[in-house]
Structure 1
Amino acid sequence: MAKNSTMRKVSLRNIAAHKLRLALTVLAVVLGTAFISGAFMFTNSLDSTFKSAVSSAYDGVDAVVSPGEDLPGIPASLREDIAADDKVNDVNLTASQSVVMANDREEPFQVGGGTSSLAPWYESEEVVGAPHAIVEGESPEAANEIVINKEGAENFGISVGDELLLVDPQERHDVVVTGIYEVELDSRNVLAAYMPEADFLDRYTLEGTTNQLILSAAEGTSDTDLVAHLEENYEGIEVETGDALAERLTEVMSDALSFVNYFLIAFGLVALLVGTFLIANTFSMIVAQRTKEFALLRALGAARQQITRSVVFEALIVGLIGSAIGVLAGIGLVAAIKAIMSMQGLELPDSGLGLSTSAVIVPIILGTLVTIISAWIPARRAGEVKPVEAMRSSEASTDQPLKTRTIIGLLLMGVGIAAAVAGAVMGDSSTSTRASLVGVGAVGVIVGFFFAGPAMSLPIVPTLGRIIGLPFGAVGKLASTNSRRNPRRTAATAFALTLGVALVTAIGMLGDTMKASISDVVENNTNADFVLSGPTNSNFPTPAGTPDAVRDVEGVEKVLTMSTAPVLVDGAASQAMGPHSMTMVIDGDVSEMAQIDVTEGTSDLESTPGVLVTTVFAERQGWSLGDTLELTAPGVGADPRDIEVVGIFEPNNMIQNMVISDQNVDGMLPPGAMSVAMVGVNGDGSVSEDELRANLEEAVKGLIVVQVMSTEEMAGQAGEAIDLMLNILYALLALAVIIAVLGIVNTLTLGVIERRQEIGMLRAVGSQRRQIRTMITLEAVQIAVFGAVMGILIGLGLGWAFLEVLKDEGLDTLSVPWGQLAWMLAGSAVVGVVAAIWPANRAAKTPPLDAISD
């Protein structure tokens, strides 16, 4: 017991005596745990904000009424009956309409990632739930009057009395801002306007039919009593308390946020994985440098287990310190994210820092365990030091054979490559099976490279060193020789960078392939010269007046309108999303909008009205050319009609399942029930493409929301969305690269400490400081370039295998971002230079005589 106590004192004093070494090791733990802790805290903050929003939205709501399965909506008569019920105090609609707002100069307010909406207004004495307080002006009283949220008004410079243009899916309206209101959860990038209830119902509902009502109970009636009363006396509706709905919505949001949490934690674990190799490498070097120290302890009577336990104890201390600092860094990370969001107009009021037990305890436990596991093998190696080692003049450990390690590594890599190739070529197997094989292959290749890396570095790194060091003469040769002396250290240092670059390469291939595939789909499936549509970053449809606005434009030969309508053909729809089913409708020849391969019949639905269906969908439904089917519009009350199958075509990425002629639904649906998805325009050749575009843009300028795009631009816009997604991934993967850079700094610094005598000797025989700095820098560049080259090769291989699996999912145009890879390779050399700055300066300052005397 006394011996254990003594060894613990030795460990603590050793940590205190080597503060630099401690700081370098702690930093690797901090980065991984900070990300995990920050992920927990950030999602806690989001959760708190949304729970508060849901709670306040349904505070004071006693009952929520929704239509039952057999009821398409709540009709006006039923709403009026409920409002007149003795047990009901007030009834409010929860309807909202997406709109686009613009100033009187027809310049739209760009809400970016925010929303722009219009809803019915209720005075404070009539509102169900939390009322909105008017802080300036007065309530709206006419159809052309609105009130607007304070934060949005301030951000976009809107004042009481301003005349605005409001565009909805059907038409545009001139409105006047009569008031500004304040709400608890507000945002600068949100424009939330309200208008009188009666006018909203008249303009945006079908004969007053709504989707949901919220109710407050009359005095003396509890929420549960009100729910029971409504269920008993009104048929066809579903009723629940406001608290029950708030709880359900909160649960849904929590589930959605848990995905965000898992996503962020996954990258924290990647950071910890990369950090694991850095920590293991650091402890291996520390053990090698302390050979004499451990040998002396053994000579003084310390047992193997005591030496091992002392190193593990040091790892425990390092892990606890690093993890605790990581939690503090996580708090700073969350504060920084919230500050950035606030600057972008996305404030999270009353969300706090998101501190919780899991946000503190889990990262500390995880970081400590990772550190101990990383240090376990070096700790066992320390316990195996013989007492006689104390008599050696050098602390450098002798190199251990690489044969066994290399054989294991090559076997693992072979198995991994075989599994990845099998997953790529097994076309008859399921996608999940093939993806699993590629995943197993990825693990095999990466772990195998970790074991075989030292042997693989022996022929590659010195060769790279000679090429890179050629302009630097003797210093370059010396750096090349040095990089060969300890292949274990070289490979372990490069591995962290290899892992990060492999991930970036594979994801880069995925992104480039997605963009190339989307570009091919758009360009190979669209026949129209230009496509006109509403905002692509929201669910806002194309205004119904768009086709008429461009029909008589100079240079236009043909205008085709693709719409969606709530109709069914023989009970089936083009798109079925839960209870909402929509069928595609066109007012002309489909081949003039999209490139399709018609196998039977015709694609001209203008001269031959009917339904055009894909071969796959026709087979599934049992339809044939010439069949007469029933066309219905559920919930609208229209009489069924007959519709004939006039054409069958091969599946097309632009038209899903089927499309019908607009003549078949003419007069069947009420105004506003059919939404315009896009408008195709073909030119007559009388004007140039640029002139036609300019003419179209001028014609739709007054519609505010319409975008004019060529097929290339449609593909480019989809590519921008993919780039945004990839940039988020790259930002997160940058953490792994940062840890890799720190790994190189760590290894070089410890190497400088270990090679103190060698560097002192070089200084003593005439090497100048700049030459020492150059030598250390060249060593770092060699390691970084080796890591990047191997990472690119592994990433290309795994990326190819993964994309072969996804070929059947539409990613059939394999593309490699060669430019990005070239930048990454050049960047790795820069990484080496940056990582070497501090260790190289430290080495250059080594006093020659002091070093030799050591």
Structure 2
Amino acid sequence: MFRTALRNVLAHKARLLMTVLAVMLGVAFVSGTLVFTNTISEAYQKSSAKGFDQVDVAIQPEYREGEGDKVGERRKLTHALLEKAESVPGAKSALGVVGGFTALGDKDGKLIGGGFQSQGGNYWGSHDPRYPIREGGRAPRGADEIAIDSETAERAGYKVGDTIPVSVDGPVVTPTITGIFTTDDGNVAAGGSLALFDTATAQKLFHKQGEYDEIDVKAAAGTSQAQLRTALDKVVPADVASTITGRQLADDQAEMIAANMSGLKNGLLVFAGIALFVGTFIIANTFTMLVAQRTKELALLRAVGASRRQVTRSVLVEAFFVGAVAAVGGLAVGVGIGAAMRALIGMVGAAIPDGPLVVTPGTAATALLVGVLITMLAAWLPGRRAAKIPPVAAMSSVHAQATTRSLVVRNVIGAILAGGGAAVVLYATTLDGSDGQAPMGLGAVLLIIGVFVLTPLLSRPLIAAASPVLRVFGVSGKLARQNSVRNPRRTAATASALMIGLTLITGMTVMAGSLQTSIDKMAASSIKADYVVSMANGNLLVPDVDKKLAATEGVTATSPLRNSPSRIEGETEYLTGVNGSTIGRLTDLTIEDGAFEVGGTNIVVDEGTAKYHGWKAGSSFTVAYEDGAKQKLTVAGVYAGNEIMRGVLLDNATLTPHLKVPSDPADMQVMVKTSAGASDATKSRLEKALGDNPGIRVQDRQDISDGIAQIFTLMLNMLYGLLAMAVIVAVLGVINTLAMSVFERSQEIGMLRAIGLDRRAVKRMVRLESLVISLFGGFLGIGLGIFFGWAAGELLASKMATYELVLPWARLAVFLLLAATVGILAALWPARRAAKLNMLEAIKAE
């Protein structure tokens, strides 16, 4: 039986090619994902580990949680503590670390790097072992000097002696570059920037005068990290700071990088799984047809003594060889995909640390295991079905058609699954937000499986609906319709592969379009301000920004939004300070209860916060501010919160005196209303008033909406690319089905040619059959996708009041056109093969 299986594989090389390709693509996706994520992860881990070479023990500040009316606070690491740490036995040296967001501008004043990746810090003394300065440069000294990393200098064309626009928290300064250094910092490797000042300047810029974010201690020769840590623990107050070894820091960083990469890895593997799932249809289809063509051969084997188990085993052995070949090829292609993905990241500007391509034994084993198991699993059912056919029945081919009973059972099961799945999805839409995610996922899986099981039943009426159009093509059209429904199970399996891909693409497109519209509506309905000004990374602005904007020509109203922690009813609650006299002209929030009145001790709160605390209009409560002072506030109104505006709003005149540093309040953002409204000229005037600051964003309502929606657009584009793999596999499935169909109908096609059907008509018949099958899968996929997009939107609507379903008809038409294109392209080779059949040889073929 083993030799028989091997001979069958070699005898059907061409017919198994599509199966090999389908499995190979899926395996390539899996192995490529593993190679790519392992390579990136190891590169970052090695890079971050180098950053801890100069750290044997780090002293980190403790955070004291708020209790009662006291607000939580981060403890301070002082210079006195640094000197104490440096003097412990076994310590060679100690350096203080301070840093934060630092925007560097290029020679056109535009931000270098991106938001959170633009960092700054301190250069320790005249020599800092962490940042070797290139020859010709020196350490920065004083407020007018700076050192920048070599990657940033190269990208922006800076050299020692140039001045560079810099912004930390608002004002733009132009220090001179005194040094260019090299670094293994992961942010720089990822395309960000790093700027260094002398310690005193850094502490002043980052509002940490006389304190450090961390103290790094280097051990003397002969002292281990554990010994140094024990010595430091004796002098470092436990309620002020904690100690951690450099080795542990590196391990923690490696774990964090691995955890961050696991999200990307799992996301990519989901789509690899989809491609493999779609591929199983092709594999099952191929082996079903191969087994059907060899029914008499298998019956003869049964007649001469082969058992059912041996017949099934022979089919599985064939599948094993096919899966093994596909898996090896997929692994090789996957390594190439991993390398290409890493190169692609570099091409779009998101550089990563250098490192070798990582192909682990686990990756190779996973690729081989996935390829072989998927193929054997898909081939098991056709093999088992063939083994159950009695030899006499197989010899007379009475088994060829599915029995009425089996079709009824299949349809009943399909109806139960589809109906149950739809019911679960509809039930999930009645739940609140995250509570409905799990039921909806379960319902979606059941519904897709149910529709897949029902596709043979659905194929006849849906394909029959295309009859009027097919009649236009005469005999070719009529034959194409009949061939499409001749074997409903095969047609269904082929169409289902395309259906799954289009279901996912359509559902995500519907959701993305609806979200974009909802976000636009949210921005338009909640903000009257023409512009919102903020730091590029979301850091705090300084008060001067509000003053400069208020003094700008054409500005009619401004309101800084100022955040401060507080304690309310024993819990931490953040307060948002606003300009009580102007906030009503800058926002358009829907009032659910009371009035929008902010001033003195009157506040407004969003409905979520009000519900949590049991407040309503007229309610009063006592707040403990950041400075410990207490005050009684009254809820004047409750408004409908959203992603743009929510929380407790009170007048800045009430809040500011109770900030930790009342003389130096910091704003999250500033809302601006102008007499001329939003325009390029107005935006340019505001940017100029702020000194063309590279770290500050001036955004109108559309910019805000686009910024929120950008992440959805980026994800959608990535998903389109990933799901393209499933569509490619579906194309192979259509080609495979048509090629097998042509082979099976060789005698029939020969007869048609003999009675007058020319080659062009034969080609048209095969192409129309392919088009009908593809459009059948396309209509099912788009229909299911719209349903899932609506259902997922209902979940979002419970959290987003402005959500509304928007059907992107233009894109849906493109998807249907894509399905038709798939059918046309997939039919090219089978149609040409059918037309070239020798009619006499085809007629006498058995």
> Per-residue displacement from partner, 1:248-305 (whole Å, max 9, x unpaired)?
2222222222232222222222221111111111111111222233234344443333
Select which of 668, 675, 678 maps to 2:666: 675
Q: Distance in 2 between matches of 1:823 and 1:601?
A: 49
Residues 815, 675 of structure 1: alpha-carbon distance in 2 compared, 3 angstrom cutoff: farther
Which one is further off, 88-97 or 501-510? 88-97
Select which of 184, 203, 206 maps to 1:204: 206
Select which of 214, 217, 221 maps to 2:216: 214
Tell me if 1:413 matches 2:418. yes
> Per-residue displacement from partner, 1:349-372 (whole Å, max 9, x unpaired)?
454322223212123223212211
Instruction: Trace 1:615-630 onto structure 2 (pairs within 5 A).
Output: 617=609, 620-621=612-613, 625=618, 627=620, 629-630=622-623
| Equivalent position amino acid for 1:101 in 2 | L
Residues 207, 691 of structure 1: alpha-carbon distance in 2 compared, 3 angstrom cutoff: closer
**What corresponds to 2:519 in structure 1?**
518
Which one is further off, 399-408 or 162-171? 399-408
> Per-residue displacement from partner, 1:9-57 (whole Å, max 9, x unpaired)?
1211111122111211111211222222222222221221222122111
Q: Distance in 2 between matches of 1:373 and 1:628?
A: 65
Q: Distance in 2 between matches of 1:689 and 1:243?
A: 54
Q: Distance in 2 between matches of 1:694 and 1:220?
A: 61
Tell me if 1:329 matches 2:333. yes
Q: Secondary structure at the match of 1:758?
A: helix
Relative to the length of structure 2, the TM-score reads 0.90
The number of aligned residues is 826
Residues 601, 791 of structure 1: alpha-carbon distance in 2 compared, 3 angstrom cutoff: closer
Deviation at 1:598, TM superposition (A): 5.4
**What corresponds to 2:53 in structure 1?**
59
Select which of 593, 596, 601 maps to 2:589: 596
| Equivalent position amino acid for 1:416 in 2 | G
Residues 541, 780 of structure 1: alpha-carbon distance in 2 compared, 3 angstrom cutoff: farther
Residues 319, 746 of structure 1: alpha-carbon distance in 2 compared, 3 angstrom cutoff: same
Deviation at 1:541, TM superposition (A): 4.2
Q: Secondary structure at the match of 2:143?
A: coil
Which one is further off, 726-735 or 661-670? 661-670
Q: Secondary structure at the match of 2:556?
A: strand
Residues 224, 302 of structure 1: alpha-carbon distance in 2 compared, 3 angstrom cutoff: closer
- Contact 1:90–1:217 at 8 Å: present in 2 too? yes
Tell me if 1:502 matches 2:495. no
**What corresponds to 1:849 in structure 2?**
840
Instruction: Trace 1:27-42 onto structure 2 (pairs within 5 A).
Output: 27-42=21-36
Residues 437, 200 of structure 1: alpha-carbon distance in 2 compared, 3 angstrom cutoff: closer
**What corresponds to 1:548 in structure 2?**
547
Which one is further off, 749-758 or 86-95? 86-95
Q: Secondary structure at the match of 1:134?
A: coil
| Equivalent position amino acid for 1:561 in 2 | P
Q: Distance in 2 between matches of 1:279 and 1:787?
A: 18
**What corresponds to 1:488 in structure 2?**
489
Q: Distance in 2 between matches of 1:433 and 1:616?
A: 17
**What corresponds to 1:160 in structure 2?**
160
Instruction: Trace 1:440-459 onto structure 2 (pairs within 5 A).
Output: 440-459=442-461
Instruction: Trace 1:144-159 onto structure 2 (pairs within 5 A).
Output: 144-159=144-159
- Contact 2:162–2:177 at 8 Å: present in 1 too? yes
Q: Distance in 2 between matches of 1:694 and 1:124?
A: 41
Q: Secondary structure at the match of 1:323?
A: helix
Q: Distance in 2 between matches of 1:395 and 1:134?
A: 84
Which one is further off, 164-173 or 707-716? 707-716
- Contact 1:119–1:195 at 8 Å: present in 2 too? yes
> Per-residue displacement from partner, 1:478-527 (whole Å, max 9, x unpaired)?
21222121211111100111111112222222222322332232222112
Select which of 296, 300, 307 maps to 1:303: 307
Residues 411, 225 of structure 1: alpha-carbon distance in 2 compared, 3 angstrom cutoff: closer
Deviation at 1:558, TM superposition (A): 1.1
Q: Secondary structure at the match of 1:813?
A: coil
**What corresponds to 1:24 in structure 2?**
18
**What corresponds to 1:353 in structure 2?**
357
Residues 673, 755 of structure 1: alpha-carbon distance in 2 compared, 3 angstrom cutoff: farther
Instruction: Trace 1:695-774 onto structure 2 (pairs within 5 A).
Output: 695-700=685-690, 702-774=692-764
- Contact 1:596–1:649 at 8 Å: present in 2 too? no
Select which of 767, 780, 792 maps to 1:790: 780
- Contact 2:169–2:539 at 8 Å: present in 1 too? yes
**What corresponds to 1:362 in structure 2?**
366
> Per-residue displacement from partner, 1:641-675 (whole Å, max 9, x unpaired)?
64643633234224432123222344544389643
- Contact 1:534–1:706 at 8 Å: present in 2 too? yes
Q: Distance in 2 between matches of 1:202 and 1:688?
A: 36
Which one is further off, 514-523 or 761-770? 761-770
What do you get for the CA RMSD once the two structures are aligned? 3.0
**What corresponds to 1:287 in structure 2?**
291
> Per-residue displacement from partner, 1:156-203 (whole Å, max 9, x unpaired)?
222222211111213111112222222346537222121212221232
Q: Distance in 1 between matches of 2:216 and 2:473?
A: 78
Residues 62, 403 of structure 1: alpha-carbon distance in 2 compared, 3 angstrom cutoff: same
Q: Secondary structure at the match of 2:110?
A: coil
Q: Distance in 1 between matches of 2:442 and 2:569?
A: 46
> Per-residue displacement from partner, 1:576-604 (whole Å, max 9, x unpaired)?
xxxxxx75454644322322355788655
Instruction: Trace 1:10-21 onto structure 2 (pairs within 5 A).
Output: 10-21=4-15
Residues 417, 769 of structure 1: alpha-carbon distance in 2 compared, 3 angstrom cutoff: same
- Contact 2:117–2:191 at 8 Å: present in 1 too? yes
> Per-residue displacement from partner, 1:657-706 (whole Å, max 9, x unpaired)?
21232223445443896432222222346x78665445435434622343
Q: Distance in 1 between matches of 2:374 and 2:308?
A: 23
Q: Distance in 2 between matches of 1:615 and 1:403?
A: 54
Residues 12, 178 of structure 1: alpha-carbon distance in 2 compared, 3 angstrom cutoff: same
Percent of aligned pairs sharing the same letter: 32
Deviation at 1:447, TM superposition (A): 1.7
**What corresponds to 1:232 in structure 2?**
234
Residues 797, 274 of structure 1: alpha-carbon distance in 2 compared, 3 angstrom cutoff: same
| Equivalent position amino acid for 2:495 in 1 | A
- Contact 1:148–1:193 at 8 Å: present in 2 too? yes
Residues 694, 317 of structure 1: alpha-carbon distance in 2 compared, 3 angstrom cutoff: same
**What corresponds to 1:647 in structure 2?**
636
Residues 509, 619 of structure 1: alpha-carbon distance in 2 compared, 3 angstrom cutoff: closer
Q: Distance in 1 between matches of 2:90 and 2:582?
A: 57
**What corresponds to 1:579 in structure 2?**
none
Residues 326, 661 of structure 1: alpha-carbon distance in 2 compared, 3 angstrom cutoff: same
- Contact 1:117–1:193 at 8 Å: present in 2 too? yes
> Per-residue displacement from partner, 1:390-416 (whole Å, max 9, x unpaired)?
766x99944543332222212222222
Q: Distance in 1 between matches of 2:580 and 2:139?
A: 43
Tell me if 1:187 matches 2:189. yes
Q: Secondary structure at the match of 1:91?
A: strand
**What corresponds to 1:49 in structure 2?**
43
Residues 352, 397 of structure 1: alpha-carbon distance in 2 compared, 3 angstrom cutoff: farther
Q: Distance in 1 between matches of 2:277 and 2:227?
A: 56
Residues 473, 713 of structure 1: alpha-carbon distance in 2 compared, 3 angstrom cutoff: farther
- Contact 2:35–2:363 at 8 Å: present in 1 too? yes
Residues 599, 319 of structure 1: alpha-carbon distance in 2 compared, 3 angstrom cutoff: closer
Q: Distance in 1 between matches of 2:400 and 2:593?
A: 79
Q: Distance in 2 between matches of 1:807 and 1:739?
A: 35
Residues 764, 602 of structure 1: alpha-carbon distance in 2 compared, 3 angstrom cutoff: closer
Residues 817, 756 of structure 1: alpha-carbon distance in 2 compared, 3 angstrom cutoff: same
Residues 274, 853 of structure 1: alpha-carbon distance in 2 compared, 3 angstrom cutoff: same
Residues 677, 385 of structure 1: alpha-carbon distance in 2 compared, 3 angstrom cutoff: same
Residues 113, 332 of structure 1: alpha-carbon distance in 2 compared, 3 angstrom cutoff: farther
Tell me if 1:539 matches 2:543. no
Q: Secondary structure at the match of 2:634?
A: strand
Relative to the length of structure 1, the TM-score reads 0.90
**What corresponds to 1:557 in structure 2?**
556
**What corresponds to 2:81 in structure 1?**
78
Deviation at 1:610, TM superposition (A): 5.8
Select which of 649, 664, 675 maps to 1:659: 649
Tell me if 1:90 matches 2:93. yes
| Equivalent position amino acid for 2:767 in 1 | T
Residues 46, 689 of structure 1: alpha-carbon distance in 2 compared, 3 angstrom cutoff: closer
Q: Secondary structure at the match of 1:675?
A: coil
User: Gaps (5+ residues) in structure 2?
Assistant: 65-73
